Structure 1
Amino acid sequence: MTTQVDYDNVPVGTRLAAQEFQLLPVHEIMYCGASLDFVGVHWNPRVARSVGMDHIVAHGPLTEAKALRIVHEWTGDPGSVVSQHARFHKPVLIPDDGVGARYRIHGTVTEKLADRRVVVELTAVSPQEEELVTVRAVVQLA
């Protein structure tokens, strides 16, 4: 699959469509199984409380993957991300209240590189506008 976004038509400052995400405890538990990472803070509220968290904590790579999904939807090619680097600022806590964790992810093209690549900076923010995670992705365009 190749990207549907043409490098020549993407100026610095291009904004990717922001998306809202919701994580429920069941999503986190499924991710535990997929990643084979069953550390208690990710699925057991009692363990999370024992280390000072009010709720279970989302895996960092899960929130990073949600951010990269925006890039994949923008390019039309899940293989367009050449490299990425995430910085986790605050844990994503997932209450067991039927609503779970809600956050918004937005992205912007911040740089054009050689070889038809661009840098996209993505940020996940809480409903209170707290920065949760930032991801810097290098993306190959057509």
Structure 2
Amino acid sequence: MTTTSAAPSYAEVEVGTAIPGRDFQIRLVDEIRYCGAGLDFVGVHWNERVARSVGMPHVVAHGPLTEAKALTVVNEWTGDPAAVVEQQARFLAPVLLPDDDVGARFHVSGSVTEKLAGNQVVIAMSVTSQEGAELAAVRVVVRLR
């Protein structure tokens, strides 16, 4: 498997090319800001009392916020946020946000799984907890130079 650190061209990317991974942190305050930006104040996303009432030990981060972190890694790799042509996410486990200064920490990594026509490649991204549990799988199609 190859690892690329500069913005790649379609010609130099192969199936199996690794996307440089990155660690992320989401704190409760970040989630509350996301709630405000998205005008989505469902209690489980900001209120620990509500989260506990539905069986969660902590507030649950919005799935699209987790997905955005994965797309950040893709954007950094391509060097072009407009390169993303298509994206899909499957959320496998909640990202739980304790009310502390740390919040949730997770790792985003991925690799090229397919080369398509038109200088496009498919990238499979994985979001994993520090314990190694897969939290989300994100499929991204990007157009390279």
TM-score, normalised to structure 2's length?
0.94
Q: Which amino acid aligns with 1:138?
A: V
Partner SS state of residue 88, structure 2: strand
Within 2, Cα distance between the matches of 1:127 and 1:75? 26
What does residue range 26-37 of structure 1 map to in structure 2 within 5 Å? 26-37=29-40
Give unpaired runs (5+ residues) of structure 1: none
Q: CA deviation at 1:64?
A: 0.3
2:137 corresponds, among 115, 134, 137, to 134
Q: Which residue does the alignment assign to 2:107? A: 104
Within 1, Cα distance between the matches of 2:82 and 2:73? 13
1:68 aligns with 2:71: yes
Q: Which residue does the alignment assign to 1:56? A: 59
2:48 corresponds, among 28, 45, 48, to 45
Within 2, Cα distance between the matches of 1:70 and 1:42? 24
1:80 aligns with 2:57: no
State the number of aligned residues.
139
Q: Which amino acid aligns with 2:26?
A: L
Q: Which residue does the alignment assign to 1:10? A: 13
Q: Which amino acid aligns with 2:76?
A: E
Partner SS state of residue 77, structure 2: helix
Q: CA deviation at 1:97?
A: 2.0
The list of structure 1 runs, each at least 4 consecutive aligned residues, that deviate by more than 6 angstroms after superposition, is none
Q: Which amino acid aligns with 1:133?
A: A
Larger relative contact order, structure 1 or 2 (CA cutoff 8 Å, min sep 6): 1
* Aligned Cα root-mean-square deviation (Å): 0.6
Residue identity (%): 60
Partner SS state of residue 81, structure 2: coil
Q: CA deviation at 1:86?
A: 0.3
1:125 corresponds, among 128, 136, 140, to 128
